Structure 1
Amino acid sequence: MSDLPAESRLRVELDSRAYDILIGPGLIGQAASYDGAIRGRQVLIVTNDTVGLHYREPVEAALRDAGHDVDTLILPDGESHKNLTTLDTIAEHLLDNAYGRDTTIVALGGGVIGDLAGFAAAIYQRGIDFVQVPTTLLAQVDSSVGGKTGVNHRLGKNMIGAFHQPKRVLADVDVLTTLPAREFAAGMAEVIKYGLIRDAGFFDWLEANMAGINARDPALIIEIIRRSCANKAEVVVADEREAGERALLNLGHTFGHALEAELGYGAWLHGEAVAAGMCMAADTSRRLGWLSEDQVTRIEAVLAAAGLPIAPPSGTSAARIFDLMRRDKKVSAGALRLVLLKDIGNAVIYEDYGVALDDTLHHYLAA
């Protein structure tokens, strides 16, 4: 592992649960990438029928070269399958094949696979190891880091899950070459989020470099992954189980999760819903007197330049979205808490938003 450049490695310092994030080209097919992250011989790769077509064989070969017994479970692709039924499929496969407590699950896919496989690892025999091998930009910069795992329910997104840290994250930038433009744009929503909540300099840099990022310049892609993961790691180390600061990572998510549930999981990609949600959060922040019109315009322009929506679909019900928002995980003691912006690069958790939220909902949504 020492031949990796220093800038390709980030450490998430969580005492006995600490792990590395490796960022660079060609990682998933190298046996050395998995050294030290897998303690037993048995490995179960969990992937989907889209990702598996491209990357199953090199990952299997690398793990076998590293001395492991490898099996692969292929699931159907899509957010609509991120549910308890699919979770049971993974558990049944583990049980049918008598996997032991020293088994490692390798989650090969985007956020859906990472969340599903991670949750299965969290609950199988009360917890087994897993490694994240994210294959979408969104998963590489956000969902693969931090140990959040779970499934969706028709009444709310990610409402059933567990905190379970991976043993390693392999962010192989080569896999992004096969990523459809819409999926790439969805990942950029989470990248832009880091600039908005805590890194104004990064937001400025994204404004200046969006054309090159959209062209998938390799150096720029490595930089956005590195800076995003560095921001995420700092927050996770400070607040692993979301008792405080980590909740700021949910900018736009309370709005976005409600949109996903209302539209039907998979109709909009997660990043698309979060992008519209961040615009709604920015609008609420403006109505509270925190953001200027120019700042809201800058936020909308960066998201639009990344190929993301800046408003929900027309005709979406304000009353229905508010009802779904009240079921969100960020509700505390019956009060809906929103992540809003005091400034670009300065997010806060806020409950006393008064009529500002109502005005935002009715500005964007149907009565």
Structure 2
Amino acid sequence: MRTLSVDLGERSYPIVIKRGLLSEVGSRVIGLGFNGRVAVVTNPTIANLYADRVMKGLKGAGLNPALITIPDGEEFKSLNEAGKVYDGLVRHRMERSSAIIALGGGVIGDMAGFVAATYLRGVPYVQIPTTLLAQVDSSVGGKTAVNHPSGKNLIGAFYQPKAVFIDPDVLRTLPERELKAGMAEVVKYGVIWDEGFFGFLEKNSGVIYSIGRETTHAIERSCEIKAEVVGKDETESGLRSILNLGHTFGHAIEAVSGYGTYRHGEAVSIGMVMAAGFSARLGLCSSDVEARLKGLLAVLGLPVDAPDIPAEALIESMRLDKKVSGDKLRFILVTGLGQVVLKEAFEADVRGFLLSFKKA
């Protein structure tokens, strides 16, 4: 077992990583000081796999759990579906002291966290991520949101959970595509923070999906980096923005393609390759860095080529992104493995790169 901490003063919380942890959820939630009613928010797929175990564990610990399900998929991360979760909380008479438990991937975690931040002006919640992407990224750091038709995560709040409970064993039931999509965020940590970790992923690319000790180490190191960054910059006023490597391009790809066409991690994979290519074009890094990143992502089974989307459509989407400043687009760009920098770029420069990247 490994316990990490997101250090935010009075709002600090643990990240507990342990095989078989799902079977301990009742005692773990009680250990946080909760009692009475709790709401488990999940989707039908995860409910079929794990809801019985979680609900029995919560009941066995003396809690009164209610199960609320929403459809599975990024296209359902909306205000409309959030409204249905509010309806469930009201129906089950959840109070301000009642906890919400997010049992699922990034969509569930973002949605449940957003609802927790706004229901009765804020109720506590716990993250139990069941996808690799959620375990290493979205469950940690308190970013909660729903999508708007014009852009991803445009409606949301920073609202920290009381704990994150990670059970690597649940990844054994994760579809291969979802597992690979999550690995994009793992690779991201090597690029933005730790070249040695990037090398570890290169060396172990053949066994990283085995859900063995290499996978667990990848989860632990990713959470360790995320926790350190969030502890230093909770609301993304500076350092935390480095976690957005690949996301300016990636979010535009998701929005223009239609949510659900690409998994978030797949779009981030393409976005990181584009960010590295743009960095090389601007002279910030060598082409070798771009080649190593593209090579690792490809070996891990992730997409690395830009989809057939007009450059203007991508730029229009990027204008709506939260990482825009004035009339310039903001990017996290690569200066070397383990090193990135925040840069602003004129639309004309981005347009020229997009046109050349699509031809490459």
Tell me the TM-score normalized by structure 1: 0.95
Secondary structure of 1:44's counterpart equals strand
After TM superposition, list the pairs within 5 Å mapping 1:266-281 onto structure 2.
Answer: 266-281=260-275
Which residue in 2 is equivalent to 1:196? 191
Deviations 1:45-102 (A, max 9, x none): 0000111100001111111122110110111111110000000001111122221100
Q: Which amino acid aligns with 1:299?
A: L
Which residue in 2 is equivalent to 1:221? 215
For the pair 1:330 / 2:335, whether they are aligned, the reply is no
Q: Which amino acid aligns with 1:310?
A: V
Runs of 4+ residues deviating >6 angstroms = none
For the pair 1:13 / 2:1, whether they are aligned, the reply is no
Secondary structure of 2:355's counterpart equals helix
1:115·1:150 contact (CA, 8 Å) conserved in 2?
yes
Q: Which amino acid aligns with 2:196?
A: G
Which residue in 2 is equivalent to 1:167? 162
Share of identical aligned residues, percent? 48
For the pair 1:78 / 2:96, whether they are aligned, the reply is no
Deviations 1:111-132 (A, max 9, x none): 0000000000000010000000
Aligned pair partner of 2:145 in 141, 150, 167: 150
Q: Which amino acid aligns with 2:339?
A: N
Q: Partners in 2 of 1:34 and 1:70 — Cα distance?
A: 11
Residue correspondences, number: 358
Aligned pair partner of 1:212 in 207, 214, 237: 207
Q: Partners in 2 of 1:364 and 1:33 — Cα distance?
A: 49
After TM superposition, list the pairs within 5 Å mapping 1:55-70 onto structure 2.
Answer: 55-70=50-65
2:328·2:347 contact (CA, 8 Å) conserved in 1?
no
1:38·1:104 contact (CA, 8 Å) conserved in 2?
no
Aligned pair partner of 1:357 in 342, 345, 350: 350
Q: Partners in 2 of 1:95 and 1:54 — Cα distance?
A: 26
For the pair 1:176 / 2:171, whether they are aligned, the reply is yes
After TM superposition, list the pairs within 5 Å mapping 1:283-362 onto structure 2.
Answer: 283-313=277-307, 315-352=308-345, 356-362=349-355
Secondary structure of 1:20's counterpart equals strand
Q: Partners in 1 of 2:106 and 2:12 — Cα distance?
A: 21
Secondary structure of 1:211's counterpart equals coil
Which residue in 2 is equivalent to 1:25? 19
Q: Does the C-alpha gap of structure 1 residues 21 and 264 become closer, same or farther in structure 2, counting only changes over 3 Å?
A: same
1:110·1:139 contact (CA, 8 Å) conserved in 2?
yes
Q: Which amino acid aligns with 2:259?
A: Y
Answer with 187-196 or 29-38: which moved more: 29-38
Answer with 339-348 or 289-298: which moved more: 289-298
Q: Partners in 1 of 2:200 and 2:349 — Cα distance?
A: 30
1:37·1:131 contact (CA, 8 Å) conserved in 2?
no
Deviations 1:1-59 (A, max 9, x none): xxxx4xx1101111111111011211112133324325231100000011110000111
Q: Partners in 1 of 2:288 and 2:346 — Cα distance?
A: 21
- 5+ residue gaps in structure 1? none
CA RMSD of aligned residues (A): 1.3
Tell me the TM-score normalized by structure 2: 0.97
2:41·2:112 contact (CA, 8 Å) conserved in 1?
yes
Q: Partners in 2 of 1:88 and 1:217 — Cα distance?
A: 36
